[in-house]
Amino acid sequence: MTERDVFLPVAAQPSVDALVEQARLGEELGYDTAWLPESWGRNAVATLSCIARDTDDI
């Protein structure tokens, strides 16, 4: 089966909570991974750690 990826938006600078919620929704919809680029003003590793904490498979 093909892996499905969800790419989280950063251009509008959403809150970490909003990104976590988007990843949780992606997981509910069957996505396998979440991707978040390193960008100005946000630490991607810290944000992805929050996503990992609040999801089961992503």
Dump pLDDT digits (tens) for 1-57.
688 898 888 777 899 999 999 999 999 999 999 999 888 878 899 999 999 999 999
How close are the terminal C-alpha atoms of the chain, in Å?
16
For residue 46, what pLDDT is reported? 94
CA separation, residue 8 to residues 1, 16, 39, 50 (Å): 22, 11, 12, 13
CA 57 to CA 15: how far, in whole Å?
22
For residue 1, what pLDDT is reported? 67
Domain count, the chain: 1
Can you tell me whether residue 32 is helix, strand or coil? Answer: coil
Q: What angle do CA 43, 24, 20 make, to 5 degrees?
A: 25
Give 53 or 58, the one with higher predicted confidence. Answer: 53
Domain range for 15 is 5-54
For residue 42, what pLDDT is reported? 82
